[in-house]
Amino acid sequence: MASQTYLVFSATGKQGRSVIKALAARGEAIVATSRDPNSTSSQSLLKNEGVKAVLRADFNDPDSVHSAIVESKATRVWFTTDFMSIPWHRRTRHAEAMLGKNVIDAIKRAKIGGMGHVEHVVYCSVGDADNVPEKVHHFWGKADVERYMSSQFDVGSGITWSVLRPVAFFENVNDRAIYNPLKKGSIKFITKPDVRVKFVSCEDIGKGVAALLTNPTMYAGKIVDAAGGEHTGTELAESLTEVSGTKCVYKIAMPRFLLWLFMGDLYHMTKWLEDVGYTADIKKFKDVVPDAQDSRGFFEATGQWADGEKFIAGK
């Protein structure tokens, strides 16, 4: 019988679902949270073995976060912050940092009040969070959360912490939510075709988080980069061609001018990716997740185009 209870915030998101999947595979007891526990996507979480309940929690409502911590009786917690969930007119570094601070303060409040059992917290940040131009607000907001967490939790407080820093998501090349579904014969990303970028799958993020959550003694106070492969856009297209059996070409997802005009934060991130890029060590992450996927592994696991048509057996 599981001796720990794991609280997974924002459980209906890609990362949250991957964390639940990885913890469930280990036979752990899990409590999930959602802003709307009664939604179809939230209720579907209960189909995962090990998920005992879905509780309401909204990072903009600290009392709801505190209540979820207390009600879950969780001993270990995972959370991340989503810059894009913030209304565009309030989307700043400070606004994202506040989301994370609300979670951290709620955990500490429950512990001090004798109503919380949390012993270890893992936060998903982003690779090189504090190593980019300051105009990349969604990186620095996460760096601020990291720093605040390390200032509030330590062995003396009875709560330890770890950080997982994922690089670019492989899922970004197949995501309707960002208007980039994987269409037959092509693949799109934001960088130029010859630029090498490090990627990681959400599935491997989940596995990495599970490793950090279940081994607090090993990972307490540590920041772990998460990267499974490094590829140019041309190489992504070559991998997809081999796996899908369909000739594929690489295209830039959005003209640079439009990116600069409408999405300044992503524009500056893209320039940084092309000029500097992530420093994550893929071999080190494979010490944590030995089977971490590269592009071929990700496309093999995906197995189909966004419209549901299956790949033809690769060459």
Q: What is the pLDDT of residue 1?
A: 39
- pLDDT beyond 60 at 179: yes
First to last CA, the chain: 45
CA distance 164 to 142: 11
Would residue 218 count as lying in a domain? yes
How many distinct structural domains can be found in the chain?
A: 1
Would residue 298 count as lying in a domain? no
CB atoms within 10 A of CB 133: 14
Would residue 174 count as lying in a domain? no
Would residue 142 count as lying in a domain? yes
Kindly report, residue by residue over 77-130, the tens digit of the pLDDT.
999 999 989 998 899 999 999 999 999 999 999 998 999 899 999 999 999 999
Helix and strand numbers, DSSP H then E, in the chain = 12, 12
Residue 255: exposure state from Cβ atoms within 10 A (0-12, 13-18, ≥19): exposed
Do 314 and 250 contact (CB within 8 A), yes or no? no
- pLDDT beyond 70 at 314: no
CA distance 45 to 246: 34
Amino acid sitting at position 270: T
Please compute the mean of the pLDDT values over residues 31-47 and round it to a whole number.
95
Kindly report, residue by residue over 214-246, the tens digit of the pLDDT.
999 999 999 999 999 999 999 999 999 999 999
Kindly report, residue by residue over 244-265, the tens digit of the pLDDT.
999 999 999 988 888 888 888 9
Please compute the mean of the pLDDT values over residues 265-283 and round it to a whole number.
97
Would residue 315 count as lying in a domain? no
In the chain, the percentage of residues whose pLDDT exceeds 70 is: 98
Would residue 240 count as lying in a domain? no
Kindly report, residue by residue over 191-202, the tens digit of the pLDDT.
999 999 999 999
8-state DSSP, 313: P
- pLDDT beyond 60 at 2: no
Q: What is the pLDDT of residue 3?
A: 85
The two beta strands, 249-252 and 160-166, are unpaired
Please compute the mean of the pLDDT values over residues 61-65 and round it to a whole number.
98
Would residue 28 count as lying in a domain? yes
In sequence order, the 6+-apart residues with CB closer than 8 A to the CB of 188 are: 173, 180, 250, 251, 252, 253
CA distance 139 to 129: 5
Instruction: Retrieve residue 56's tokens.
Output: 């309401």
pTM of the model: 0.96
The partner residues of 224 in beta bridges, in order of sequence, read 164
CA distance 79 to 72: 14
What is the residue range of 15's domain? Answer: 5-167+201-227
Would residue 154 count as lying in a domain? yes
Domain containing residue 99: CATH number: 3.40.50.720
Please compute the mean of the pLDDT values over residues 142-155 and round it to a whole number.
95
CA distance 243 to 245: 6
- Alpha-carbon separation of residue 59 from 97, 152, 155, 196 (angstroms): 11, 18, 25, 35
